[in-house]
């Protein structure tokens, strides 16, 4: 894995579940921002998912974001 990319990126259940959002060319989604800031950016080691996995060795539910809140594609919530 190249330097600057989270070592858990390819196996992250959050990424795997929502990666179809990356193919949306019509708009930038919050998912894009999570990837840029947490998976490839300055906040990589502040990622709630990363910290949890490092401390416990277990993954969180795939809808828990890098900030620790539940992610939803439903824009009405």
Q: Enumerate residues 6+ apart whose C-beta is below 8 A from 65.
A: 14, 34, 48, 49, 71
Residue 76 has pLDDT above 50, yes or no: no
How many angstroms separate the CA atoms of 36 and 74, rounded? 21
Flag whether 29 is in a domain: yes
Number of domains in the chain: 1
Per-residue pLDDT tens over the stretch 55-71: 999 999 999 999 999 98
Six-digit token pair at 13? 């259940």
Query: Residue 77 falls within a domain, yes or no?
Result: no
**pLDDT, tens only, 5-22:** 999 998 999 988 887 766
Residues of the domain holding 26:
1-71
| Residue 42 counted as domain residue | yes
């Amino acid at each position: 894995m190249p330097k600057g990319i989270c070592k858990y990126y390819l196996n992250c259940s959050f990424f795997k579940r929502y990666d179809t959002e990356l193919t949306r060319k019509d708009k930038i989604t919050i998912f894009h921002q999570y990837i840029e800031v947490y998976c490839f950016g300055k906040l990589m080691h502040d990622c709630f998912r990363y910290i949890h996995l490092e401390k416990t060795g277990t993954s969180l539910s795939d809808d828990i974001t890098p900030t620790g809140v539940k992610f939803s594609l439903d824009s009405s919530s």
